[in-house]
Amino acid sequence: MSRRMRKILRQIHKSSTHYKLQEIASTIQAEVDSRHLTYDDALTLGNQIQAKADTIPGDTIVYAISDRDAYRKTLELYLRDGILTRTEQLLLWEERRRLGIPDSTHDTLLEQLLAQWKRQGKKVDVQRFSMPSKEGAADES
């Protein structure tokens, strides 16, 4: 781990607000843009930012280069038309498995995004969806 990464990691651990974490995330983005940090380093730091953000009370979304942010962008894309279909939810489930995003994180992100959209006067319909199971797939064969 480089000195620059260690310095940023210390800042992340000392942060006590979502706003400060967002400032650090913006700094990391600038470091990547100027090629002082690799994308992989930024991804590692971004995942640390998201983990720290989970420990701070509040429903503010922190935008940082991270697996969670990649998933959030996909979720926002599917919500854009105002309907989250069963097919889209299945695709999101596959994306969560690929990125290692727990269902609890998905639920939290979905609630945050729906609250954000509701404040903007937008309506989103989420269709009923049950999680695929390994046993169900075996029964269908």
Say if residue 11 is in the same domain as residue 53. Answer: yes
Buried b (16+ CB within 10 A) or exposed e, 42-55: bbbbbbbbbebbee
Is residue 140 one of the residues assigned to a domain?
Answer: no
Helix H or strand E segment including 68: helix 67-79
* pLDDT of the residue at 140: 44
| CA triple 96-107-25, angle to 5 deg | 70
Specify if 28 maps to a domain.
yes
Give the pLDDT of residue 134. Answer: 55
pTM score: 0.72
Q: What is the pLDDT of residue 124?
A: 79
Residue pointed to by tokens 């969560």: 96
Say yes or no: 82 and 39 in one domain: no
Residue showing tokens 């269908």: 140
Q: Tell me how many domains the chain contains.
A: 2
CA dist., res. 74 & res. 94, Å (int): 12
Q: Mean pLDDT, 10 residues at a time, over the chain (141 residues)?
A: 90 95 95 92 94 88 90 90 88 91 88 84 76 52 40
Same domain, yes or no: 59 and 74: no
Q: Which residues of 76-114 are buried (b: 16+ CB within 10 A; e: fewer)?
A: eebbeeeebeeebbeebbebbeeeebeeebbeebbebbb
Residues 61, 12 share a domain = yes
Give the pLDDT confidence score for residue 130 in this predicted structure. Answer: 65
Q: Is residue 21 part of a domain?
A: yes
Q: Which domain holds residue 61?
A: 1-65
81 inside domain: yes
Residues 10 and 28 in one domain: yes
Domain co-membership, 2 together with 59 = yes
DSSP of 120-140, one letter per residue?
TT---EE-------HHHHHHH
**Is 78 domain-assigned?**
yes
Assess whether 25 and 12 both reside in one domain: yes
On whether residue 93 sits in a domain, the answer given is yes
